[in-house]
Amino acid sequence: MRTIAVTGAASGICAATADRLKREGHRVIGIDVQPCDIVADLGTPEGRSHAAERVAELSGGTLDGLVSGAGLGPYAEPEDVIRVNYFGALAILDDLKPLLERGTEPAAVAISSIGAIFVEVAPDQAIPECLDACLAGDEEAAVAAIRGHSGTDAYSLAKRALALKVRSHAVDWGADGVRINAVAPGSTETPMLEEIFRHDEIGGPVRMLPIPIGRSAPPEELASVICFLLGPDARFVHGAIIHADGGSDCVVRPTAL
């Protein structure tokens, strides 16, 4: 039995991941702003500290796995998206790394998004001063830089910054024996996607996203990828951004490797 903390565990992909881990006999510590083992708002420094402290208490100071998946959709306020989807997601990874270092074959998985690629293919969506501030760890500068832009811009940028940070963390964390990877989901049937589809401006473009496999995914199909990355079958997978998107990335960025 492994002990695995999962943020965003009250809904969607992370709830499916928590369910699967529990079915496999693992102990899950769920963290969410909605009712969960630990209730915390990862958009605030206080909420992040509270979450990390409670995970340390409940786990006894040792974690074998961590999923940093809590997030807001592109329909949310851009400032909130930057705070939750980047700074909250990253703080949980960084704050809980010492617990992972004490675990057995420890592994962390961050949830990025197919949205991360749009900063690359639609340069008008790039906001370099915000991306730079994210990567420099300057939350207030990043929030100031995103003001006046859309939630979609903030979402793509936060998910791109998170994926980049996973890659740079892989370089540092490898020596400490902690694997870290990201999954970049495409259209996945969760409350977030339902809200996106209901949105007047965002719904249309997201529905148009080409999916070569011809369908969206139930959240369990993302949970299986996350559980693979957490587990022993992925022992040599480190610093990878795994696109689980039915092939959407191959259409949008056919030459990207």
Task: List contacts with ligand NAD (CB under 6 A).
Answer: 8, 10-14, 32-34, 41-43, 69-72, 84, 111, 113-114, 185, 187-188, 190-193
Q: Which residues are catalytic?
A: 155
Number of Cα atoms under 13 Å in the Cβ half of residue 6: 29
CB 175, min distance to ligand NAD, A: 28
Contact 79, 130 (CB under 8 A): no
Which position's Cβ is nearest ligand NAD?
A: 12
Integer angstrom CA distances of residue 189 from 7, 154, 214, 241:
18, 21, 14, 21
Pick between residue 3 and residue 188 the one whose CB is nearest to ligand NAD.
188
Pick between residue 84 and residue 166 the one whose CB is nearest to ligand NAD.
84
* φ, ψ (nearest 5 deg) of residue 166: -60, -40
CB 236, min distance to ligand NAD, A: 25
CB 165, min distance to ligand NAD, A: 14
Distant-in-sequence contacts of 23-31, Cβ < 8 A, 24+ apart: 24/227, 25/1, 26/1, 26/2, 26/65, 27/1, 27/2, 27/3, 28/4, 29/3, 29/4, 29/5, 29/55, 29/58, 29/59, 30/5, 30/6, 31/5, 31/6, 31/7, 31/55, 31/70, 31/92
CB 15, min distance to ligand NAD, A: 7
CB 11, min distance to ligand NAD, A: 3
Which of 120, 154, 70, 161 lies closest to 249 in space, CA to CA? 120
Pick between residue 49 and residue 104 the one whose CB is nearest to ligand NAD.
49
Pick between residue 40 and residue 178 the one whose CB is nearest to ligand NAD.
40
Pick between residue 176 and residue 194 the one whose CB is nearest to ligand NAD.
194
